[in-house]
Amino acid sequence: MNERIYNFNPGPAAHPLPVLEEIAAEFLNFKGSGMSITEVSHRSKWFDEVIEDASARVRRLLELDESFHVLFLQGGASLQFCMVPMNLLPEGHSADYVNTGAWATKAIREAGIQQKAVNVAASSEDKGFSYIPKDISFNPDAAYVHITSNNTIKGTQWASFPDTGGTPLISDMSSDIMSRPFDVSPFGLIYAGAQKNLGPAGVTLVIIRNDMLERVPDHLPTMLKYTTFVERNSMFNTPPCFAIYTVQLVLKWIEETIGGLEKMERINRRKAGLLYRAIDESEFYTGTAEKESRSLMNVTFRLPTEDLEKSFVREALEHGLSGLKGHRSVGGCRASIYNATPLEAANALVDFMGEFARKNR
């Protein structure tokens, strides 16, 4: 078996090593069942314990009260782009969206396909989505305000969430969920594809407040209604059992090994601080996000030439540092340092960046 490398992939992304080891240890015989987790019935006591524990850990980590429902759906965040307006934006009303990059743009487009009324209350497109807008004037009559909490491609993140004046806030948190504590009370709905910070691709965490369910129209297809999954505990049909099981183990790791979200945030800030300091103190690397809007999850930067960037990515891999190529739409380099990426990985990358700069000045 080859030695594991440091994984900076943007998604699917790194998993905590203890989680992978636990999966390996019980993969062929899950909890004494004589079956793999991929074989047990989703109606069995074994899987009941998995999904109930995963839900309970989400509640504890985010301090959710009983007004919130925890759901495990399929289709990724991309399906939520259409489910949110389909379920929660009534006819005759409009919703405010803040456009901070590619995923927000897609969410806006999906609402438009349904001919829903969308108001782009603010956008950072004027500067290539390199910052998070401030001092936004929201429509007080909006059905909801939609934001993308962290923007993986451009490396920006909401340091604090906007004041919507009581209008329900909805957020795509696919790439920074469980990376820091925050007040959930303003949110009507939160959704997050698992493959960046929670587990493997194939399951999407949805947290929805009870009052939002009152908006769900009766005429929607069964599988596209939030109420369907609330009523059936996410098991109207066969859920992605293995993905939910892995999410449960990742949540257990955050809660029991790391010690909760405050400690998780401290680690994430240390990792990001190391990389941003290396960029800022260098004349060789240039950060692409404005400093006040920098992401703690995705550090984006450029080198003096595209040829050097290609060499950087190639040589980094040779040094056991994987996934540093920027998104194909923008180029450059990107280090995704989600929860499971250890501090040692950030240190190794900083060392490599320094050596590569010295050799290529």
CATH number of the domain encompassing residue 25 = 3.40.640.10
Q: In sequence order, what are the residues at sequence separation of 6 or more whose Cβ sits closer than 8 angstroms to the Cβ of residue 279? A: 285, 286, 287, 299, 301
Question: Do 204 and 346 belong to one domain?
Answer: no
Assigned domain for 6 exists: no
**pLDDT of amino acid 361:** 85
Assigned domain for 279 exists: yes
* Distance, CA of 12 to CA of 347 (rounded, Å): 22
Question: Do 282 and 241 belong to one domain?
Answer: no
Per-residue buried b or exposed e for 168-194, using 16+ beta carbons within 10 Å of the residue's own CB: bbbbbbbbbbbbbebebebbbbbbbbb
Give pLDDT tens digits for 16-36.
Answer: 999 999 999 999 999 999 999
Instruction: Please state, in angstroms and as integers, the Cα–Cα distance from residue 334 to each residue in 141, 162, 330, following that order.
Output: 39, 26, 10
Assigned domain for 8 exists: no
Percentage of residues of the chain with pLDDT beyond 90: 99
Give pLDDT tens digits for 146-172.
Answer: 999 999 999 999 999 999 999 999 999
Question: Do 248 and 285 belong to one domain?
Answer: no
Query: What's the CATH code of the domain at 323?
Result: 3.90.1150.10
Question: Do 244 and 285 belong to one domain?
Answer: no
96, 116, 154, 172: the active-site residue: 172
**pLDDT of amino acid 1:** 39
- Choose one of 228, 258, 288: the last residue of a domain: 258
116, 158, 176, 196: the active-site residue: 196
Assigned domain for 210 exists: yes
Average pLDDT in the 327-352 region?
A: 97
Assigned domain for 7 exists: no
Q: Looking at the DSSP assignment, which residues form a beta bridge with residue 333? A: 301, 325
Give pLDDT tens digits for 175-190.
Answer: 999 999 999 999 999 9
Q: In sequence order, what are the residues at sequence separation of 6 or more whose Cβ sits closer than 8 angstroms to the Cβ of residue 135? A: none
Question: Do 156 and 303 belong to one domain?
Answer: no
Question: Do 172 and 305 belong to one domain?
Answer: no
103, 116, 253, 271: the active-site residue: 103
Assigned domain for 22 exists: yes
Question: Do 112 and 244 belong to one domain?
Answer: yes
Question: Do 267 and 249 belong to one domain?
Answer: no
Nearest of 192, 189, 190, 140 to residue 163 by alpha carbon: 140
Can 106 be counted among the known catalytic residues?
no
Average pLDDT in the 9-20 region?
A: 97
Question: Do 159 and 39 belong to one domain?
Answer: yes
Give the range of the structural domain holding residue 283, as residue numbers without chain letter. Answer: 260-359
Question: Do 188 and 224 belong to one domain?
Answer: yes
Question: Do 198 and 305 belong to one domain?
Answer: no
Question: Do 214 and 156 belong to one domain?
Answer: yes
What total number of domains does the chain contain? 2
- Choose one of 223, 243, 258: the last residue of a domain: 258
**pLDDT of amino acid 2:** 58
Backbone angles phi, psi at 142, to 5 degrees: -65, 145
- Choose one of 226, 258, 290: the last residue of a domain: 258
Can 103 be counted among the known catalytic residues?
yes
Average pLDDT in the 2-27 region?
A: 95
Checking if the pLDDT of 337 tops 60, the result is yes
Can 96 be counted among the known catalytic residues?
no
Give one word for 149, left, alpha or beta, with left for phi > 0 and alpha for psi -120 to 50: alpha
Average pLDDT in the 225-245 region?
A: 97
Q: How confident is the model at residue 307 (pLDDT cuts 50, 70, 90)?
A: very high
Assigned domain for 188 exists: yes
Give pLDDT tens digits for 47-60.
Answer: 999 999 999 999 99
Assigned domain for 9 exists: no
Average pLDDT in the 189-196 region?
A: 98
pLDDT averaged over every residue in the chain = 97
Q: What is the pTM of this model?
A: 0.97
Residue 145's SS3 state is: strand
